[in-house]
Amino acid sequence: MKKIMIFLLVGILSLSLHSQHVFNKGDLLFNAGIGGLSSDGWIPSVNVSGEYGVIPTGDIGLVSFGGIMAYKYSSWSGSYYTTNYDYHYSQFTIGPRATWHVHAFESDKWDAYGGVGAGMRFWTQYQWDQGTLNYVNKAKVSPYGEVYVGGRMMFSESFGLFAEVGYGTLSAIKFGVTFGF
């Protein structure tokens, strides 16, 4: 009986010690960063995302749900013969995300994750208008989907750095700071 009690005590302690991960069920993290490299070049974007740990998947990970907002703006001007061009381009995206955090290794400093998202993109398009025979900015709305992988390094329980690489939002590369609550 004494051996069974010791075995149960060691088992309970090992389970509580095993949950030493950056992101656990009930945790809330926010990312704030900048991004670059997209289909329209290295125009930087500003992005904010957040996630809440919801579904533990055993020893292999945790699923979280959250969202992202991102914005970027660019402009250029030029001339061709006697016509001057003034181009302004902006995009804003907003949408939900689902992320799977890998718990295959024990670390309270490192978090590796991957996920998917979808949402709406609000943007302007500079195009030729046959009616006015001039270039005009036209507002557009379209859906988007995203796939990404990322990681974060935490310096404390409430502050760290993150980086993501993916396809779908305003930038293929994002990096910045993480705040935990």
CATH class of the domain defined by 2-180: mainly beta
Mean pLDDT of the residues in the chain: 83
- 47-103 pLDDT per residue, tens: 999 999 999 988 889 999 999 999 998 877 777 777 666 677 889 999 999 999 998
Map out the domains of the chain as residue ranges. 2-180
Task: Say what the pLDDT of residue 24 is.
Answer: 83
User: In this structure, what token pair is assigned to residue 98?
Assistant: 């689902």
Query: How far is the C-alpha of 56 from the C-alpha of 64, rounded, in Å?
Result: 9
Is residue 94 within 8 Å of 47, Cβ to Cβ? no
The beta strand positions in 7-133, using DSSP E, are 28-36, 45-56, 61-80, 83-102, 110-129
Tokens of 155: 């310096």
Q: pLDDT digits over 87-111, tens only?
A: 778 899 999 999 999 988 788 899 9
